[in-house]
Chains A and B, each alone.
Chain A
Amino acid sequence: MPQRRTLVASAIVVLLLALLPLSGSRYAVDLATEVLIYALFALSLNVVIGFTGNISFGHAAYFAIGGYACAILLTTYDWPLAVSLPAAVVLAGLVAAAVGYFCVRLTQIYFAMLTLAFAMLVWGVAFKWKEVTGGDDGFTGIKLPAMLAHHVGYFYFTLAVVAAGVAALWVICHSAFGLTLVAVRENAVRAGFIGVDTRRMRWAAFTVAGTFGGLAGALFGMYHRGMYIENAFWTESANVLIMVLLGGIYSFVGPIFGAAALHLLQTFTNQYTPYWPTVLGLILLVIVLVLPDGLIGLAARFKAHRGARRGRT
């Protein structure tokens, strides 16, 4: 069970976010919606990266499947949201399970390459299946219930879904299952010796990641009222990977901070210069050279440093 302190802190964060629309700034509400969606996306990827220790280079695939499926069910088939959204999430999870079945047979670079290959396959389907996905024109004009058509309504919807998603991921990652994953990450051979089916554990983690990635994708598509093949492209996978690395892979909340920092930085940079890739390159350099454990690691080190100094005086 979560500690009382964690529960109170999370409740305060959600409450503060819920007050945001009172600021009256439409821009802030939209930006917060985007950050929430990316936070869930990054958090879902970290189940694979942080907890099983394997880098996935194709996480955008499940994001895109969730997004396209929800969009198509809502718009082409006119299904209600209460059915479309769960169906899209389940579909993303099923595809992740099928892909994961093959991917977890490999580790490290081979695992990363295989996830990338499957993701590009998804991209190919979205591109070629023009009648259903709209091809490279994208799938626009997604129908939404009137309640969610307003930006504040959609913000609260996103907040509720993301909060529920984060809570679910918290429970999963801190359960016996999550701790077993950490054991597999730290020493797969030893974990195997004490009777853990490491491959199955990693398969389950991959499926969980894909499922929540699909949820983030569905929220994204509805927010933009459109899904585009670019959302399935490897650059999107790389983007979310950088979010996770920036935040810190060894902490549960790290990816949330990474997603917020990277997305806000990208948005604000774009207001002044089109040369975001240069900034991104510098960020990557800093992560690799100075912040191997991300922003959370930096905060922890800072705290430890201060604690040590206080201890001396």
Chain B
Amino acid sequence: MKYSVILAALGVLGAGSAVAQQPPIKIGVLYPLTGGGAVYGVPALAGHQLAIEELNAKGGIMGRKIESIERDDKLNPATASSTMKELITKDKVDIVLGGLASSVGLAMSEVSKQEKVVYISTVPKSIQITTDKLHKYVFRTSANTDQEGDTMAMLAGRNKLGKICHLELDYAYGNDLEVGILKAMPKYAPDAKIVLTLKPKLGATDFNPFIPQVMAAGCDGVLSGLWGPHFVSWVKQAAPLGFFNKIKWISGGEVGSHEIAGELKGEYPDNVISNTYELWYHGNDPSHAAFQAKLAKKLNTQETPQWAALGYIGVMYTAAAMEKAKSTEADKVAEALEGLSIGTPVGKLTIDAKTHQANIGQFWGPMVKKPDRAYRMMEPAEYIQPK
């Protein structure tokens, strides 16, 4: 008798906790966390974690806590493919985010297609993800090379460039960006002529063979896809020759970000117009200040990196889509993502229902000296969003 009472009580307790304790929603994420890609992957993951912390503090998604399962993609598509399969089959994640390299993004998209699990590409720009290789379960919240190329062509027209030198890195991103620029040139700068196209190798550090060629070509502007360390090396080698005195340098690849400005400091040259996803010192949306303050606290620095915003937006889209679908089922979440608009630290974004591409913009502007700063800042920073 006594035992049965206890058993019954235990049963009631058990039932009660079963209702309250729903299993967590599992979000899998892959970024490069070691090696050369870690400079971008680690901040992106910080933004990802910040979003999950915020959501969990508010009770998670649909009242369920979020569990974040984070893995290193090692910048290697085969590793990313295996690891993503593992997240799906072993850890049973509900959705996968992340990636950085184009090849990793495409490999993850392939797994997403095979396994019928939603994948939101948060950093890769490869145009193929949302064109040739588009499928039901893949979405992109970062920019793509067509959008970036379109803006660069527009800026070439606006700055009245006549003779243009074109510099791209010889790999997927560079080749795709070149296509994007060439497609848009007739629209914005019909009279401009590309007089020289050069393609240094990915990872190149010595640009001495290229610099004199560009200087001798007599172009009044350069369209460049040299990102990160490539741009830094070019500047260090070309600036002492007076390269940047007469030539306008319009660049994609986020060399207008604070990471590059902070690295080059006083060596950052004149006449550079470039882009960045986010600026810690300038926002286009009221929610940006709060986001940036939280990120600064998390990373323990006021001058926060731009990549965090991309990781953050990926999680915010996940939450919004699941709330809208009232489900974590891949088919329903994918349907919810189509045409979904959300507010983000860089303003309101919408994912196109057909192309699965978010209309995320970038800040573009000249990098100018500031009297009270050791580094340059983008001013005025114009937020250019694709139509």
Contacts and interface: CB of A to CB of B under 8 A. Distances in A.
A135 interface: yes
Given A27-B86, A27-B90, A226-B81, A137 B109 contact: no
Interface stretch (B56-64, B72-80, B270-278): B72-80
B106 A138 contact: yes
A168 B238 CA distance: 59
B86 A228 contact: no
A237 B78 CA distance: 14
User: Which of B71, B107, B126 counts the most A-chain CB atoms under 10 A from its CB?
Assistant: B107
A178 B328 CA distance: 57
B110 A277 contact: no
A2 B77 CA distance: 40
A301 interface: no
B102 interface: yes
Contacts of A199: none
Given A26-B89, A225-B114, A270-B71, A137 B126 contact: yes
Interface string A271-286: 1001111000000000
Contacts of B74: 274, 276
B83 to A, nearest CB: 7
Contacts of A130: 175
A269 to B, nearest CB: 10
Interface in A215-255: 220, 224-226, 228-231
A136 interface: yes
Given A137-B106, A224-B78, A224-B107, A27 B89 contact: yes
B78 A231 contact: yes
User: Which of A225, A228, A270 counts the most B-chain CB atoms under 10 A from its CB?
Assistant: A228
A259 B172 CA distance: 32
A175 B225 CA distance: 57
A293 interface: no
B141 interface: no
Given A26-B89, A27-B90, A141-B133, A135 B172 contact: yes
> Chain B interface secondary structure, helix, strand, loop or mixed?
helix
Given A135-B171, A136-B171, A224-B78, A270 B128 contact: no
Given A140-B109, A141-B110, A275-B34, A34 B171 contact: no
User: Which of A31, A34, A136 counts the most B-chain CB atoms under 10 A from its CB?
Assistant: A136
B107 A270 contact: no
Contacts of B133: 140-141
Contacts of A276: 34, 72, 74
Given A140-B109, A141-B110, A225-B114, A30 B103 contact: no
Contacts of A107: none
A228 B101 CA distance: 12
Interface in B95-141: 102-103, 106-107, 109-111, 113-114, 126, 128, 133
Contacts of B78: 220, 224, 226, 228, 230-231
Nearest to A233: B76
Contacts of A230: 76-78, 103
B82 interface: yes
B172 A137 contact: yes
Contacts of B86: 27, 30-31, 267, 271
A27 B86 CA distance: 7
**Chain B interface: which size bin?**
20 to 34
B72 A270 contact: yes
B34 A274 contact: yes
Contacts of B349: none
Contacts of A220: 78
A134 to B, nearest CB: 8
Contacts of A141: 110, 113, 133
B89 A224 contact: no
A271 B202 CA distance: 30
B274 to A, nearest CB: 24
Contacts of A274: 33-34, 71-72, 74
A231 B103 CA distance: 12
Interface string A113-153: 00000000000000100100001111011000000010000
Contacts of B110: 140-141, 224-226
Given A130-B175, A141-B133, A274-B33, A228 B107 contact: yes
Contacts of A140: 106-107, 109-110, 133
A237 to B, nearest CB: 14
A137 B71 CA distance: 21
Interface in B165-219: 171-172, 175, 202
A25 B111 CA distance: 18
A141 B105 CA distance: 13
A224 B102 contact: no
Contacts of B76: 228, 230
Contacts of B282: none
22 contacts: A27-B86, A31-B86, A130-B175, A135-B175, A136-B102, A137-B126, A137-B172, A138-B103, A140-B133, A224-B82, A226-B106, A228-B76, A228-B77, A228-B78, A228-B107, A229-B103, A230-B76, A230-B78, A231-B78, A270-B71, A274-B34, A274-B74
Interface of A: 26-27, 30-31, 34, 127, 130, 135-138, 140-141, 149, 220, 224-226, 228-231, 267, 270-271, 274-277
Given A138-B106, A140-B107, A276-B74, 19 more contacts: A30-B85, A30-B86, A30-B89, A136-B171, A136-B172, A141-B110, A141-B113, A141-B133, A224-B78, A225-B110, A225-B114, A226-B77, A226-B107, A228-B76, A228-B78, A228-B103, A267-B86, A270-B83, A274-B33
